[in-house]
Structure 1
Amino acid sequence: MCRSKSKTDATEPTATKRTRSSRSSRPSKRSSTLDIPTPPISSTSSAAPSTSRSNTSSVNYTTSSSNRDNSRASISSKTSLSSIRESLPENPHIYNFSEICTATNNFLAKRFPSSSAAWRCSLHSKDVIIFQRRLRRSLEPSKLRERLSLICRSHHASLINLLGASISGDHIYLVYDFVNGANLADCLRNPKIPNFTVLSNWMLRMQVAMGIANGLDYIHNSLGLNKNFVHNHIKSTSVIITDQPSFHARICSFGTAELCGEIPEYHHQKQHQEGNKEITEITEASSSSSSSKVKRTNSKDMRFEGTRGYMSPEFQATGIGTQKSDVYAFGVVLLELLSGEEPLRYKLDKETGSYRRVSVIETAREAMAQESSGPGTGKEAGGGGGGRLRTWMDRRLKDSFPLDVAEKITRVALDCVDEEPEKRPDMRDVVGKISKLYMKSEQWSNRMGVPTDFTVSFAPR
């Protein structure tokens, strides 16, 4: 049998050999797509000379068949690589303005509820949200593409992906993936049903805190090697809580500050330094060069956007967003998550008949001050102490939470909102502390052995 096979190989018609060689000389579309050279398939069959000895012909035939198998394996591996490449996320798009107009029906489509200048629509067969923002500084196309390529590298479970952007006049249109859910502010405070919240138990709120902290830590410390990325828009309306049953927290609007020109250019030219020193240098540079412009409300160059209650003192003075101002805003969101209250609200004073402003930071500090100076503190949800902190915490948790964990995470939040930026912790340290408190909360939940939305404390409020 081996001799007959060898004879067949040796007496193969010349036309057939030419046909195979011509096929092998054709360029492969897959290899040109992946830039991987493909060895000719027929070269293995014509490379082995035929002899009359049966043992030699057997070896040659075996070598030829094995080489064919290797070639087939190479083709199949390239096919799998091609399919993997097609499944990877798209490169950042710079959309034509006409595409934005078509997707939003010339901006006549129904606006997205969470923003006055946002539309939910379909673009390139994807369900997206398009945000309209004003450009603080004009960007060249090459600069825009460079920044987009850096920001679109972010693929974190706690971030909503930016797909691309388009510029028209003095506006930029940012295209994000659409995620089903509601923002954190609406989850905590529904004006139609004030006594209800989907985040009705302690573990859900700890899960949300972990998600936001991880996402912000990724932005600050993991995304760029020599770039200090800043979000600059951390607030409860910028955090989306996904639908049941996951209730995961995802940060949206990342990249807005970078692409709209809210972050100064020299902020990106700095190498990684000690955080406190870097913030000091930025603050000094901004105050010395443009301190007079900061106070002028009619100066277009120095106008900045911010939400009351989330702006750090240095951001209010300079308008320059930094990682430390992000940490401050995160601390406010964390206090908001624990208390269920707005960052700033106005409360009627019955004695004077006037309204006074109430800050969630001030009420948290008062609660913790009275807690530490009290006669005794309970360390579990069923303990008798911790009355002041329990009063400050969201009543819809029904006192069902570990008091020692609640105290510690409140202190973490107050450290984040320190008046002096150099005293605020790095997000990497914040993530480490919240992770430990999350594990303690899980141990508490398993030990209680009852539904976490059921009250187990009889301590007076």
Structure 2
Amino acid sequence: MNLLVMLIPIWVFSSVWIWVLAATDAISDPVLPTEKQPSSQISSQMADHSTGVPEVRVVHHQDLNKKILIALVVASSLLGGILLSLLCFWICRRKNLKNPSAKSQHNQDAAKGLSLGPILGRFNSLRMASARKGSAAFIDYQLLVAATNNFQEDNVLGEGGFGRVYKARFNDNLLAAVKRLYGQSQDAEREFKKELDWLSKIQHQNIVSLLGYCIHGEARFLVYEMMHNGSLESQLHGPSHGSSLTWLIRMKIALDVARGLEFLHERCNPPMIHRDLKSSNILLDSNFNAKLSDFGLAVAGGIRSTYNVKLSGTLGYVAPEYLLDGKLTEKSDVYAFGVVLLELLMGRKPVEKVSPAQCQSIVTWAMPQLTDRSKLPNIVDPVIRNTMDLKHLYQVAAVAVLCVQPEPSYRPLITDVLHSFIPLVPLELGGSLRLPEPSSH
């Protein structure tokens, strides 16, 4: 019906135009004889011409018919072209109307402000395939509700000081971790903004990827890549008690953490101090690759010493100079790395109760034994005891002792720590150690 309404004025316009062309020809040719003129009329016309009477031109049928034919051909071609264009438009429109459900779904996704394409690309291509550096995707709240099954308790992955982390399934190919921040305190809001700001800018293989964020009323959400083996804390101190962590895997985890810290301290501009390095903030993917997370307390550390920084961190990991004097440097992260290294070696928590009213740190307990080669093998985690080369064990213990020195100037730079671990990790796990091939009989 709409097509017919569009064609009527075109047809009328074309008809009028053809009529005007024909009428113009008729006006320019006033004499349209239909029969051959008698000789007497011709002679009289010649007489009139000789006496000054205006000449009357004679036009034959063939000339007029040619002009009308040309006009009709031009008009028909124009009308045919218009009709053909309208027909193509009508066919395309019919095809589009045959799939209204797909179009409706596309509109719904657009209304939500999110397409999963950028997130999947970001997740599968080293965190930068489809996102501009310095930005993070905004994720619609209803999508988070659906992905976490309305934040069911069964989907809880962990809980920290400022929030709870949920498993989220966006589709069959994408699992993610959603951190829901608690409360509306200034500290929680500050952590959210810092985490969003830092992780939107930082891209490294040993730093967890931020897929997106959500602000819904007073609620704040951060969406990370899924780390299938959870945190180092849950692996070491959870139900499995480190049974999945062999000596070589533990050395690989230490190397990955050192690489992440080295990137923050030496390669970021400005340099960064994590300020909350601990086993619960070291996440492990399905291949036990370790990545640093939780940058809500991170600060720029462009100078070697920073004062008047509010004391933050976790008991057992905080460096003595920061705890007592508020002095924060990159060496504070090195101290925390040393504590994590002791956890990997001994399988013990950083702070343990020795009596109802007394706690003991792993540093205080281990230091006298770490430097005694006769005692060192006996304090190693039973899961890995007697599974490593003793020479490598002594090297790792020496690095740990240096990292937890009370005086920060005695601690090594994280770059030195990184280079000390590369020879202890096999080639296939990212180091330079060549394992002997099993002998064949």
Question: In 1, distance between residues paired with 2:198 and 2:245?
Answer: 34
Question: In 2, distance between residues paired with 1:108 and 1:156?
Answer: 32
Q: What is the Cα deviation at residue 333 of structure 1?
A: 0.4
Q: What corresponds to 1:364 in structure 2?
A: 366
Q: What corresponds to 2:337 in structure 1?
A: 330
Q: What is the Cα deviation at residue 199 of structure 1?
A: 1.3
Q: What corresponds to 2:436 in structure 1?
A: 446
- The Cα offsets for residues 284-335 of structure 1, whole Å up to 9 and x where unpaired, read as x44xxxxxxxxxxxxxxx5x65322112223334678653322211110011
8 Å CA contact retained: 2:345, 2:380: yes
**Residues 31-430 of structure 1 aligned to structure 2 (within 5 Å):** 88-91=129-132, 92-95=136-139, 100=144, 103-104=147-148, 107-108=151-152, 110-115=154-159, 117-122=164-169, 126-133=174-181, 136=186, 148=196, 151-167=199-215, 172-191=220-239, 197-200=243-246, 202-222=247-267, 224-225=268-269, 227-243=270-286, 246-253=287-294, 255-258=295-298, 263=299, 268=300, 272-273=302-303, 275=304, 279=305, 282-283=306-307, 285-286=308-309, 305-317=312-324, 322-347=329-354, 356-369=358-371, 371=372, 386-430=373-417
Q: What corresponds to 1:379 in structure 2?
A: none
Counterpart code for 2:359: R
Go from structure 1 to structure 2 and tell me whether the alpha carbon gap of 1:100 and 1:113 turns closer, same or farther (over 3 Å shift): closer
Counterpart code for 1:88: A
8 Å CA contact retained: 2:213, 2:221: yes
8 Å CA contact retained: 2:257, 2:291: yes
Go from structure 1 to structure 2 and tell me whether the alpha carbon gap of 1:175 and 1:257 turns closer, same or farther (over 3 Å shift): farther
Question: In 2, distance between residues paired with 1:447 and 1:425?
Answer: 34
- The Cα offsets for residues 141-196 of structure 1, whole Å up to 9 and x where unpaired, read as xx95x9846533433222220123334677642211112113222322344x55x6
Q: What corresponds to 2:72 in structure 1?
A: none
Give the TM-score normalised by structure 1.
0.56
Counterpart code for 2:236: L
8 Å CA contact retained: 2:159, 2:165: yes
Structure scoring higher RCO (CA < 8 A, sep ≥ 6) equals 1
Counterpart code for 2:159: S
Counterpart code for 1:368: L
- Secondary structure (helix, strand or coil) at the match of 2:436 reads helix
Question: In 1, distance between residues paired with 2:168 and 2:328?
Answer: 31
Go from structure 1 to structure 2 and tell me whether the alpha carbon gap of 1:257 and 1:175 turns closer, same or farther (over 3 Å shift): farther
Question: In 2, distance between residues paired with 1:169 and 1:321?
Answer: 35
Question: In 1, distance between residues paired with 2:297 and 2:433?
Answer: 39
Question: In 2, distance between residues paired with 1:168 and 1:100?
Answer: 11
Tell me, which stretches of 5 or more residues in structure 1 are unaligned?
1-83, 287-301, 349-353, 372-385, 451-461
Counterpart code for 1:199: L
Residue 434 of structure 1 pairs with residue 441 of structure 2: no
Question: In 2, distance between residues paired with 1:172 and 1:344?
Answer: 31
- Secondary structure (helix, strand or coil) at the match of 2:341 reads helix
How many corresponding residue pairs? 302
Give the TM-score normalised by structure 2.
0.58
Greater gyration radius = 2
Question: In 1, distance between residues paired with 2:273 and 2:218?
Answer: 22
- CA root-mean-square deviation: 3.8
- Secondary structure (helix, strand or coil) at the match of 1:174 reads strand
Go from structure 1 to structure 2 and tell me whether the alpha carbon gap of 1:410 and 1:89 turns closer, same or farther (over 3 Å shift): farther
Go from structure 1 to structure 2 and tell me whether the alpha carbon gap of 1:414 and 1:151 turns closer, same or farther (over 3 Å shift): same
Go from structure 1 to structure 2 and tell me whether the alpha carbon gap of 1:306 and 1:149 turns closer, same or farther (over 3 Å shift): closer
What is the aligned-residue identity percentage?
A: 24
Between 395-404 and 175-184, report the one with greater CA deviation: 395-404
Question: In 1, distance between residues paired with 2:128 and 2:140?
Answer: 24
Go from structure 1 to structure 2 and tell me whether the alpha carbon gap of 1:111 and 1:220 turns closer, same or farther (over 3 Å shift): farther
Q: What is the Cα deviation at residue 388 of structure 1?
A: 0.5
- The Cα offsets for residues 25-83 of structure 1, whole Å up to 9 and x where unpaired, read as xxxxxxxxxxxxxxxxxxxxxxxxxxxxxxxxxxxxxxxxxxxxxxxxxxxxxxxxxxx
Q: What is the Cα deviation at residue 391 of structure 1?
A: 0.9
- Secondary structure (helix, strand or coil) at the match of 1:163 reads strand
